[in-house]
Amino acid sequence: MAEVSLVSVSKAFGSDVALSDVSLTVPDGAFVVLLGPTGAGKTTTLRLISGLERPDSGDITIDGRPVIDETPAERNVAMVFQQYSLYPHMTVRENLAFPLRSPILRTPEDEIARKVAEVAEVLRIAQKLDNRATALSGGEMQRVSIGRALVRNPSIYLMDEPLSSLDAKLRAELRVELKRIQANLGATLLYVTHDQIEAMTMATHVGVLDRGRLVQFGTPREIYENPVSLYVAGRLGLPRINTLPAGLFAGAPSSAATIGLRPEHIVQGGGKSATVVRLEHLGDQTRLHLRFQDHDIVTLTDVHSTLEPGETVAIEPKNPLYFDADGNRIPGGNGP
């Protein structure tokens, strides 16, 4: 495995700027997740590293070696796409072995057999090795396509929303699985998603992209607790952070335009009154929808709360986040 760096990389497609002056280091053995909405530049970043695209300016290094002039094969990266593309006429075993049979690698057959068996075990598809690829469920097919990346020993694994086409239950299982595999193999992984749960639970580092710019890079906890901007604060957290005019509550710094309140920043039982709009029972949590001086607030409350719509609840902020008129975080003693 290897460290991968982007230095001041920019890429435009015609007049559309996909990436603008992005510098980013994926440390050896790290699980880096790039988070952002559609069009933020996530997939372009992966394609630049893999060599499917060439940057307009800037440098890309793998293990300290500049790779811009190398072909995708020379870079030795493994890519997993959102849509699993398996060879339908081959069995699972043949699909998994295929990358190892590449003429460049010239892997001995016993080594191939050992690798395939090992990966099949890790991904829990060992009993399906002799099935046709087309005779698998969606989740199994995606595991095989991940397996096809794992059998190799690349510098880095690049994954583009590999779980997004799976149903919720399976996605949750594979999240834990992927994290475990990465930790066990000590693999370096760059993973693209717009699913914040995937980002928070799997990543050692999260990079947040906003229209082609890398706006923050840090551990999931840093990004969640110490966002640099309103934009970043809105990327993580369910229910989403509530944003209100800063003047609604006392104690805001003078330069603050917006106060950001996550559920844990709202104390119930004291302060100003808000009206209950409705309760949303999600089982493990109950979301409380409030109307507060012409603004909507969503927070959490006791799972078995007996509040009824129309009742009032007093709320006050505790260690909230403040942002200026441009949406930048105002640093100060209010952070966690």
Partner 1 sequence: MAEIVVRNLRKEFGDFTAVQSSSFRIEDGEFFMLLGPSGCGKTTTLRMIAGLELPTSGEITIDGEDVSRKPASERDIAFVFQMFALYPHMNVRQNISYPLISQGMKRPQVREKVAEVAGILGITDLLERPVGGLSGGDRQRVALGRAIVRNPKAFMMDEPLGALDAEFREHMAEELRALHDRMGATTVYVTHDQLEAMQMGDKIVVMNHGVIEQFGAPQDIYDKPATRFVADFIGSPSMNFLRLHSRLDTGADSVQLDHQEVGIPVMREPFDGDVVFGVRPEHVRLSDISGYRAEIRATEYLGTTQIVTLATANGELKARIPSDQVVRAGETVGLSFDARTITLFDNQTGRALRSELNEGVLAHG
Footprint of partner 1 on this chain (CB under 8 A)? 37-38, 164, 167-169, 172, 176, 179-180, 194-195, 197, 200-201, 220-221, 224, 236-238, 262-264, 278, 280-284, 300, 303-304
3 state SS for 167-193? CHHHHHHHHHHHHHHHHHHCCCEEEEE
Q: Which two tokens stand for residue 299?
A: 């927070």
Residues in the chain: 336
Residue 224 or 323: the one with the smaller Cβ distance to partner 1 is 224
| Minimum distance, C-beta of residue 131 to partner 1, in the bound complex (Å) | 19
Please say whether the beta carbons of 209 and 35 come within 8 A: yes
Least distance to partner 1 from the beta carbon of 263, Å? 6
Which among 77, 89, 81, 28 is positioned nearest to 48, based on CA atoms? 77
73/176 with CB nearer partner 1: 176
Q: Of the two residues 58 and 234, which places its CB atom closer to partner 1 in the complex?
A: 234
The distance from CA 224 to its chain's CA centroid, rounded to whole angstroms, is 13
Compute CA distances 255 → 60, 161, 196, 332, whole Å.
39, 39, 30, 12
Tokens 């966002």 appear where? 227
Q: What is the closest distance, in whole angstroms, from the C-beta atom of residue 302 to partner 1 in the complex?
A: 12
Minimum CB separation of residue 291 from partner 1 in Å reads: 13
Closest to partner 1 by CB, 29 vs 58, is 29
Cα 57 → chain centroid? 26
Residues 6+ apart with CB under 8 A from 308: 276
* Closer by beta carbon to partner 1, 51 or else 220: 220
Beta strands in 95-226 (DSSP E): 156-160, 189-193, 205-210, 213-218
Q: At its nearest, how many Å lie between partner 1 and the CB of residue 303?
A: 8
Cβ(212)–Cβ(39) under 8 Å?
no
Pairing type for strands 31-35 and 205-210 reads parallel
Q: How far is the CB of 176 from partner 1 (least distance, A)?
A: 8
Q: Which residues contact 302 (CB under 8 A, 6 or more apart)?
A: 286
Q: Give the nearer residue to partner 1 in terms of CB position, either 197 or 325.
A: 197
Sign of CA dihedral 311, 317, 320, 325: positive
Separation of alpha carbons 12 and 5, rounded Å = 19
Give CA angle at 177 (206, 63), nearest 5°: 50
Q: Which is nearer to partner 1, 100 or 192 (CB)?
A: 192
Is the Cβ–Cβ distance between 129 and 92 less than 8 Å? yes
Closest approach, Cβ 149 to partner 1, in A, equals: 22
Q: How far is the CB of 274 from partner 1 (least distance, A)?
A: 18
Which residue lies nearer to partner 1 by CB, 230 or 257? 230
At closest approach, how far in Å is the CB of 282 from partner 1? 5
For partner 1, give the closer residue by CB, 78 or 236: 236
